[in-house]
Amino acid sequence: MDKEPLIYIDGKFVEKSKAVVSVFDHGLLYGDGIFEGIRAYNGSVFRLVDHIDRLYDSAKSVRLKIPLTKHEMTEAVLETMRKNQLRDAYIRLVVTRGTGDLGVDPSLCKSPTVFIIAEPMATILGPREPKVVKMMVSSYRRDAVDATSHEVKSLNYMNSILAKIEASSAGADDAILLDHRGFVSEASVTNIFLVKDGRVFTPSSAAGILHGITRERIIRLCSDLGLEVEERDVTPFELAVADEVFLVGTKSELVAVGKISGASVGTGAAGPLTRRLYQEFSKVVQRPEEGTPVYEAEAETV
């Protein structure tokens, strides 16, 4: 019988089948919590410092006091990888408001719940061509920055879930959401870029986007390649007439968009710049300086 994966819960490691939280946990009852989705490549956790910093920024914005220091949280992530003897993985780090009485008042919870899941996951990056997906423009609008802003990586994903359901019902792979003004925001769980006449654009913070770790790294990668990325409001028209459109995210990495609401983007295949970024990003995630080593012997050689 295969050994069960071990899950970190509040300082202890328990088998997956025994990893539970209370039905009175406010993360379950009210979506009151935050999380990070993180990737590890070849024994190194990609951009772990950035993910930990964003987690604590999210916590500060919702007045959630994490019971671990950043150093302790970093070590908890690495130890979860070690306990499961993983090298290539997807890591889900979650902090909820914790167990409390019924009612939305956060003061009803005594202490936060912290759990970390690490599962094996191979990269789709490499010598292959980027995956090409079909998208649709959703009728659901991205939550405004003065509402349940997606700048906070919270456990409240109903906005994205409804858009995803709508896309699936229409035969699309995923949805593109507009903001409350009608400008392009992002896809359900990924940031979006478009290319027109050799120039690269991506929606700005004003559109209520998540400040994606992969998004930020792709912007820097473009700069390294001599390409300037303009962060600004993007209209649905600009999306419709783009030469290339691609999505980026921690779990999905980099994906080309072939169709939007039934209309082809460019030739309907991954465009030349998308393919180039895909190949270059494949190299970036393997660089030792881009991550935090999981295993001590490898840390000594970095």
Selected catalytic residue, list 70, 153, 164, 251: 153
Q: Is residue 154 classed as helix, strand or coil in its secondary structure?
A: strand
- CA–CA separation, 171 and 19 (whole Å): 35
**For the packed helices 48-61 and 70-83, what is the interaxial angle rounded to 10 degrees?**
130
Count Cα neighbours of 242 within 13 Å in the Cβ-side half-sphere: 31
Kindly tell me the sign of the dihedral angle through the C-alpha atoms of 24, 25, 26, 31.
Answer: negative
Start-to-end CA span in the chain (Å): 36
Strand arrangement, sheet containing 33-41: 12-15, 6-9, 113-120, 89-96, 33-41, 44-46, 291-293
Active site residue 60: no
Which residues contact residue 98 at a Cβ distance below 8 angstroms, ignoring those fewer than 6 apart? Answer: 25, 26, 27, 109, 110, 111, 112, 113
Which residues contact residue 235 at a Cβ distance below 8 angstroms, ignoring those fewer than 6 apart? Answer: 182, 183, 184
Please list the active-site residues: 153
